Structure 1
Amino acid sequence: MKYRKFEFRLNDGAALFAREWRPEHDVKGVVCLVHGMGEHSGRYAHLALALTQAGYALMSYDQRGHGKSLGQRGHTSSYETLLDDIECFKQECLNHFPKIPFFLYGHSLGGNLVLNYCLRRQPKFQGVIVTSPWLRLTIEPSARVRLLASLMNKVWPTFSLPSGIDVYALSHDLSILDTYNLDPLVHDRISVRMFTTVDQAGFWAVENAAQFDLPLLLMHGGNDRITSSDASSKFAAQIKKDCTLKIWPGLYHELHNEPEKTEIIAYLINWLDSLTIEAKNSQ
C-alpha cells in the first residue's frame, strides 16, 4: 500500500488536509470518503488497508473545522459550502485517478452530506456507500431545542456547544473507544449553524429520497444510539432503482470499527466488486 498526505484548494481559496491510500499495483476503483462529526480522515486507515488489498484506492479529507484542516471546530458558514467542498474533492480525486470507476462514501455527518450532495447536485459516480447517516438522530431534540437553535442560528451562528456524542455508543470494541478518547484530532464541538443546517438537510433528504438515482449501499447498525436506523430504512424504501439496505442487528454507530468489521468490510468490497465488474463489462 502506498500512502501520502496532501492539501487541495476550495472555491473560496481555503485549503483542506487530505490523505490518499492506493494499492501497490493496478487500481480497479477509487473510493472518496467523507467522515463524520468530530472525527477525521486518519481514523479510516484500517479500512484503507482492506480496500487497497482488494485493489481499491481510498481518498479522504478532513472537513472544515475538523482534524488537520483549519476552521472553527464543528462549524460551517453554510451547508452549501460543505457540498461545494465535496465537489472540489471529487475533482481532486478525478485528477489523481482518471478513467476508472469512482465511488462516493459518507459516514454519519458525511452520510448526510453525501446523500444530499447526490440528490441536489446529481453527480456521476459508479456507486455510493453510506453508513449510519445522520438523517434523524436516535434521540430527537425537542421542539423547544430546535426553535432555540433556529433563533441562535440567525443571531449567533458560530455559537457552539458539546455535540453530546456518546462515545460508548460508537462501537462495542473498547480499544476503539480508548483510542478515540486519546485522539488529539477528535473534538466534541458543534455550532448552531452546523446543527441547524444538517438537521434540516436530513429531513429534506428523507422527503426527497425517491429522486436518488445512483446505485446505493446503505448500511446501519440496528442498535445505533446516535443516528436513526429507522430513518435509513425509510430513505431506502423510497428509492426506485438500485438500493441495497443492510441493517446489522445489534451493532452500533461505527460499523467499520465494530468487532465484526472484517465481515462488514468484506460485504462492502463485494458490493464494490459487483459494480466494478459491471462497469468493465459495459466498456
Structure 2
Amino acid sequence: MRVAQEKHFITHDGSTLFYRYWPPAASQTTEPRAVVLLHRGHEHSGRLQHVVDELALAEVAMFAWDARGHGRSPGPRGDSPSFAALVRDVDCFVRHIGNTHGIAVTNLAIIGQSVGAVLAATWVHDFAPRIRCLVLTAPAFKVKLYVPLARPGLALIRRLFGNFFITSYVKAKFLTHDPERVRSYDEDPLVTRSISARVLLGLYDAADRVVADAQAIRLPLQLLISEKDWVVQRKPQDDFFERLGSPIKERHVLPGFLHDTLGERDRKLAIDTIRGFIERMFRAPPPRESLLQAHRSGYTRDEEVRLREPLPTVSLRRVNFALTRLSMRTLGRLSEGIRTGLATGFDSGSSLDHVYRNEARGAFLIGKLIDRGYLDAIGWRGIRVRRLHLMQAIVRAAKELRTTGLALCVADIAAGYGRYVLDAVDQLPERPTSIVLRDYSELNVAHGRALIAERQLGDVARFETGDAFDEEALAALTPKPTLAIVSGLYELFSDNELVARSLRGLARAVDTGGYLIYTGQPWHPQIEMIARTLTSHRQQQAWVMRRRTQAELDELVGVAGFVKIDEWIDDWGMFTVSLAHRA
C-alpha cells in the first residue's frame, strides 16, 4: 500500500484546496511522470487509495484532489461558484503539480471518473493542455433524472429563487456490486450527498458543449463505459467517442458494470485496461498532429463553408433568419446597439464599445427595451466577461513585469476604442511607461484619442492608425512593448497564415521576458445565427467566422516563440483570454 502525503494548493480565486500525493514507489528511470485522478461526484480523494495501489505503476507519482465543496476542501458541500470554476481549478492543480513537483504537463496522464471525467474532458477542450493521455470512466455527460422535465424545471426554480441543493437519489448498491465499497460509501462522513443546482446545470451545459464539439479534442483518449450504469446515459458517451478528433482512441464496454467503474467488484478488468493504455502512451508517445493548416482542411473549415452556403429555399430556418434580419432592419433600428451594428458592422470597435458600456439606449422606451434584449444576448454577455478577463490578464502581466524589474510598455495592435486597456491601467498601482494603441479604423482612432485625453494619459499614451497584420510595422513598434495585446482580432479572420504573420511581427517586437495577451473563440452557440443575420465591418459582408480551437490558436502562438502560462474562459466556454511569456 502506497502512503499518501497530504498537501494543499491555492487555486485561481485564492481558495486553498486539499490533495493527496503518492510519491513513486520505485526509482524512476525516465523523466518524472504522474497520473492525476479526478474523483466521482459526491466523493473525495481518500476513496481512490485502492486505485493507486491496484494500478501498480511503481515508477509513476500519483495525485488526487478533493474538488472544492468535497472531502477536505473548503466550500459549501457539493457547490462551487460555477462548473467553469471547477474546470479552472483542474488547470490550476495541474500547473501546481508542474511548478511544485517538477512534472511536465507532457508527462501527465489524467483519469477522470463520472463528474470528474466531464471536468477532465471540458478542461482538455477549453484549455488544450498537452498531456500524455486521458482516461474517462463512466463520464456523466447526461445524468439520468427520472422526473419528467427535471432539467428545465431546475433551471426555472434557480432563476426564480436562486441557487439551491439537491440530495442524490442514488444509493450505494446502485453504484457497485462490491459489498465493501457499498459499506464504506454509506459510512464515509466525507461523502457529499448533495449537489447544488448551479453545479448540476453547469455540468449539463458543459457536457452538451463538449460532446457536440468533441472533434476539438485530439489527445490519446480511452473511454470506459459501464454497461449497467443506472446513473448516467449511454448515448452521449458513444456520441462523444464517435466525434472525437483523437487519432488514438479506445472504447471499452465493461459487461455488467455499474456506475462506480473503478470501485466495482470486478474492477481488475478496468484497472488492467487503463494500466496497459497508460504504459503504452508513456512508452511511445504518439506524434502531435499540427493544426497550422486547419484553415484549409478540418472540421472547423467545413463548418465555415457550410455557413457561407445559402439555406434551401424551402426551409423553416431560412424563413426564421430572414424574419430576424427584417426585424433588425426595421423595428430594431430603434436600438442604438443594433443601429450601430448595421452602420459599422457588428464586430466593429464602435459596436463593441456599446456592448462594453452595457447601457441600454434607443429611441423611446421601446428602443431601450430592444437594446436591453440585444445587450443581454449570450454572445455579448460573453464579450463583457472577456473584457473582465482581459483586465485581469493585464494586471497579472504588469505584476510579473514589476517582479522582474522590467518596465511596463503596453501595445494593443487592434484596440477598437481602447476602453478595456485604459480601464485596466486604472487598476494598476502605477502608470505604465508607455501605452501604444493602434487600430485600422480612423473612427476608432479618433474615439480612442478622446478617451486618452479624458483619462489624462496623454503623457504616456498615444493612439495611431495601423495594420495589425503588417509584420514589419509590428516589428518596428516603438517603444518596444513588454506587453503586447491582441483582443478580438484573430477570431474574425480564418486564415492562419495571416495570423502567423501578425504573431511573427509581435515576436520580433517583444523581447525575451515580455508577455503577450491573446483571445480566442473556440465555441459559440449562436455562430449560425450570427453568420445568417449579422454583418461584419468588412464591406458589410455576412459575419461568418471559423472557430479556431484553443489547441490550434496555442500552436500558432507557440510557433511564433511564446509559451502560454495562463488562461481564462467564461462559464459558457465561448471566449478565452490567454497570457503567454516570450520564450
TM-score when normalising by structure 1: 0.93
Asked if the contact 1:214/1:242 (under 8 Å) is kept, the reply is yes
Report what 1:76 is aligned to.
80
How far apart, CA to CA, are the structure 1 residues paired with 2:134 and 2:265?
24
Q: 1:31 to 1:178 in 2, by over 3 A?
A: same
Corresponding letter in the other structure for 2:130: K
Corresponding letter in the other structure for 1:147: P
Report what 2:256 is aligned to.
250
Deviation string 1:170-221 (CA, Å, 9 cap, x unpaired) is: 1011111011000000021011111111111111111111211111011011
Corresponding letter in the other structure for 1:134: A
* Count of equivalent residues: 281
Report what 2:382 is aligned to.
none
Report what 2:62 is aligned to.
58
Q: Which one of the candidate residues 270, 277, 280 is aligned to 1:271?
A: 277
Q: State the shift of 1:139 in Å.
A: 4.6
Asked if the contact 1:139/1:225 (under 8 Å) is kept, the reply is no
Report what 1:208 is aligned to.
213
Deviation string 1:134-189 (CA, Å, 9 cap, x unpaired) is: 1012455532x222211233344431120222321110111110110000000210
Q: State the shift of 1:55 in Å.
A: 2.6
Deviation string 1:205-259 (CA, Å, 9 cap, x unpaired) is: 1111121111101101111110123321111011132111111011111111112
How far apart, CA to CA, are the structure 1 residues paired with 2:143 and 2:152?
16
Q: State the shift of 1:25 in Å.
A: 2.3
Q: 1:139 to 1:79 in 2, by over 3 A?
A: closer
TM-score when normalising by structure 2: 0.46
Report what 1:9 is aligned to.
10
Q: Which one of the candidate residues 91, 97, 110 is aligned to 1:104?
A: 110
Report what 2:471 is aligned to.
none
How far apart, CA to CA, are the structure 2 residues paired with 1:229 and 1:97?
38
Report what 2:27 is aligned to.
26
Q: Does 1:167 align with 2:169?
A: no
Aligned to 1:186, the other structure's residue is in SS state coil
How far apart, CA to CA, are the structure 1 residues paired with 2:121 and 2:131?
12
How far apart, CA to CA, are the structure 1 residues paired with 2:270 and 2:148?
34
Identity %: 26
Report what 1:262 is aligned to.
268
Q: Does 1:196 align with 2:196?
A: no
Q: 1:268 to 1:201 in 2, by over 3 A?
A: same
Deviation string 1:2-47 (CA, Å, 9 cap, x unpaired) is: 4200110011111001001122223463111211111101100011
Asked if the contact 1:47/1:256 (under 8 Å) is kept, the reply is yes
Q: Which structure would you say has the larger Rg?
A: 2
Asked if the contact 2:5/2:21 (under 8 Å) is kept, the reply is yes
How far apart, CA to CA, are the structure 2 residues paired with 1:278 and 1:7?
32
How far apart, CA to CA, are the structure 1 residues paired with 2:208 and 2:147?
13
What is the correspondence of 1:177-196 to structure 2 with a 5 Å cutoff?
177-196=182-201
Corresponding letter in the other structure for 1:108: S
Q: How large is the Cα RMSD of the aligned pairs?
A: 2.0
How far apart, CA to CA, are the structure 2 residues paired with 1:202 and 1:59?
24
Corresponding letter in the other structure for 2:273: Y
Q: State the shift of 1:281 in Å.
A: 11
Report what 1:93 is aligned to.
97
Q: 1:179 to 1:110 in 2, by over 3 A?
A: same
Asked if the contact 1:127/1:216 (under 8 Å) is kept, the reply is yes
Asked if the contact 1:166/1:226 (under 8 Å) is kept, the reply is no
Structure 1: give runs of 5+ residues left out of the alignment: none
Asked if the contact 2:24/2:62 (under 8 Å) is kept, the reply is no
Q: Which one of the candidate residues 224, 239, 242 is aligned to 1:219?
A: 224
Aligned to 2:112, the other structure's residue is in SS state strand
Q: 1:103 to 1:150 in 2, by over 3 A?
A: same
How far apart, CA to CA, are the structure 2 residues paired with 1:280 and 1:29?
16
Structure 2: give runs of 5+ residues left out of the alignment: 289-583
Corresponding letter in the other structure for 2:263: N
What is the correspondence of 1:108-119 to structure 2 with a 5 Å cutoff?
108-119=114-125
Deviation string 1:41-81 (CA, Å, 9 cap, x unpaired) is: 11000111123544322101101110011111111111221
Asked if the contact 1:32/1:93 (under 8 Å) is kept, the reply is no
Q: 1:195 to 1:265 in 2, by over 3 A?
A: same
Greater relative contact order, per chain length (Cα 8 Å cut-off, separation 6+): 1
Name which of structure 1's ranges 217-226 and 199-208 shifts more when overlaid on structure 2.
199-208
